Amino acid sequence: MDLHGGNIYQSPVALDFSVNVNPLGPPEEIKRALDKPEVWLNRYPQLDHRKEEKRLLGFLRLSGERKAYERGKGQNIPDDSVPKVDGEEEKEAEREGKEEEEEAEREGEKIGSLLGSGASELLMTYFLVKRPRRVLLADPSFYGYRRAALAVGAELLSYPLQEEEDFLLDEGFLEQMDKKPDLILLANPNNPNGGRIREELLEKILRRAAACRIPVMLDLCFMPLSLLLHGENARQNPNAGTEGNLELEKELHGENTRENPDVSKGPDQEDWIQSSQGTVKESDSAVWSSRRAYAALLQKYFAWHRGLLILGAFTKTFAIPSLRLGYLLGDSEHLAEIRRGLPEWNLSLPAQIALDELFGMEENGRLDGYLKETSQLLKEENSYLRNALGGLGFRVCGGEGNFILFADPTEEKWRQEGIFSEEQSLGQILRKEKVLIRDCGNYRGLGKGFYRVAVLDHEKNQTLIRLLGRIVEGREKRSPSKQTGKRER
């Protein structure tokens, strides 16, 4: 069984639902920039990426000053909770701010960034450099975490997530922190279920970890797409949506998702749009909201835990997995130690070119058009695919990712009755049709009968649903018991 999605090399694949990247495809600017390989193919990439890493902080709307975040003054992110002062109070606040910034600079307390050949390289490098002995994580989760831990012989402390709660992280995780791990590793949203951690719970985890001096690595690789799809607020009801619930879709997307694709505005969103970028069309609000929300999340997370490391990637958001382009955010001194474990020329020249194009798109205002189109496509197709899977009788797990986890009740039933063979699994049948979905049977905490599909464009999603419909119809007409001579019980 494949350990990761995207294994299209063993046999021909026409449609790949196993990889959770932006269904819109790479931006045209990146494709044009890489269209002439003779320009870059015979050149070495840059040895040092510090200039790009500094630009990355601006791209993510981070000032780099940790003290600024603790005061709620992140770059380009207004904080209405910080009172406005004038006169002597303003001068005093300014003096205090300068003193704090000077202190932060002396102590090296700056937020920095580190670029790598995908988030996986940075994850593995951290483990090879820091060599944690005990790692606390929640399962099911991305196999790469387990692989990195095992590579250095770390003990894995696994906290099991519950299906009846859509595999959402719960308060019980806090008790596991008493086991004093050397590292806590969490994803938000989590892979494979797409569940986002409730903000109040994540704050408790990060603050307690900070108090106990436990390092935390938070994987946010899927967060930008999740924000484009669902906005700032994660779903609060863990049981909603488990049956492909139409009411959940109305709650998340409005009465008619195809006519109302934009997320609802937060209470201060209009003010932010007007004040930071001038007048913005109503239809663009989801894009501004998501970009603002991501920067605000980074700001809050760093305020809650001074030693936090945030793992991110451009792979998913911009559909460029072959370029391998990830980043790590955290305290500059911590990152300097991890940097020493990276190989020379770890970032390919095509990846550097793509990154430069993304920076240019952001600076010239072209990035927002791409993200707006992404947001509309994801909302429409996530709603369609989720409802269609539920309508076919699959048990659909609620989540906020650009992918959907679901269980096949028929496979579970036939396995229990001993009348199931692997050739009858959805993954095997679809593979014969040159369609690849992610069989999640090797995820710790899931087991056989769970599958994950990415949200693609409407034509591809329709093809998947049509094929799954045929499988369901065929199962209803004939059962394995008739083929094997066994009676159904």
- For the ranges 89-98, 121-130, 298-307, the lowest mean pLDDT is seen at 89-98
pLDDT score at 263: 30
Query: Which phi and psi angles does 137 have, rounded to 5°?
Result: -145, 170
pLDDT score at 64: 58
pLDDT score at 134: 98
pLDDT score at 421: 74
Residue 315 · residue 21 · CB < 8 Å: yes
pLDDT score at 92: 54
Is residue 13 scored above 90 in pLDDT? no
Q: Which residue has the tokens 């931006």?
A: 27
* High-pLDDT (> 90) share of the chain, %: 65
Q: 356 or 246: whose pLDDT is higher?
A: 356
Output the CA–CA distances (angstroms, integers) from residue 167 to 61, 316, 363, 382, in the order listed.
31, 22, 39, 19
The domain covering 15-20+402-484 belongs, at the CATH homologous superfamily level, to Aspartate Aminotransferase, domain 1 (3.90.1150.10)
Residue 324 · residue 121 · CB < 8 Å: yes
Is residue 339 scored above 60 in pLDDT? yes
Task: Give the confidence band of 465 by pLDDT, cuts at 50, 70, 90.
Answer: very high
pLDDT score at 485: 44
Is residue 321 scored above 70 in pLDDT? yes
pLDDT score at 278: 34
Task: Give the confidence band of 238 by pLDDT, cuts at 50, 70, 90.
Answer: very low
Is residue 353 scored above 80 in pLDDT? yes
Output the CA–CA distances (angstroms, integers) from residue 382 to 167, 235, 403, in the order listed.
19, 15, 8
The tokens of 170 are what? 């719960």
Work out the angle at residue 131's Cα, subtended by the Cα atoms of residues 148 and 105, and round it to the nearest 5 degrees: 110
CA–CA gap between residue 94 and residue 88 (Å, rounded): 10
What does the mean pLDDT of the chain come to?
81
Segment 261-284, tens digit of pLDDT: 333 333 233 332 232 333 334 445
| CATH number for domain 50-59+108-367, candidates 3.40.50.2000, 3.40.50.1220, 3.30.930.10, 3.40.640.10 | 3.40.640.10
Q: Which residue has the tokens 């944690």?
A: 132
**Every domain range in the chain assigned CATH 3.40.640.10:** 50-59+108-367
Over residues 57-85, mean pLDDT:
54
- For the ranges 105-114, 326-335, 427-436, the lowest mean pLDDT is seen at 105-114
**Every domain range in the chain assigned CATH 3.90.1150.10:** 15-20+402-484
Segment 119-162, tens digit of pLDDT: 999 999 999 999 999 999 999 999 999 999 999 999 999 999 99
CA–CA gap between residue 470 and residue 437 (Å, rounded): 16
- For the ranges 212-216, 325-329, 382-386, 478-482, the lowest mean pLDDT is seen at 478-482
Closest listed residue to residue 305, CA positions, set 234, 221, 169, 204: 204
Segment 395-443, tens digit of pLDDT: 999 999 999 999 999 888 887 777 777 778 999 999 999 999 999 988 9
- For the ranges 80-84, 89-93, 129-133, the lowest mean pLDDT is seen at 80-84
Over residues 45-74, mean pLDDT:
76
Output the CA–CA distances (angstroms, integers) from residue 259 to 256, 376, 388, 458, in the order listed.
5, 10, 18, 15
Q: Which amino acid is at 282?
A: E
Query: Which phi and psi angles does 363 have, rounded to 5°?
Result: -70, -30
CA–CA gap between residue 416 and residue 438 (Å, rounded): 22
Q: Please state the three-class secondary structure of 378-405 as a single string.
A: HHHHHHHHHHHHHHCCCEECCCCCCEEE
Residue 112 · residue 330 · CB < 8 Å: yes
* High-pLDDT (> 70) share of the chain, %: 74
Query: Which phi and psi angles does 147 have, rounded to 5°?
Result: -60, -45
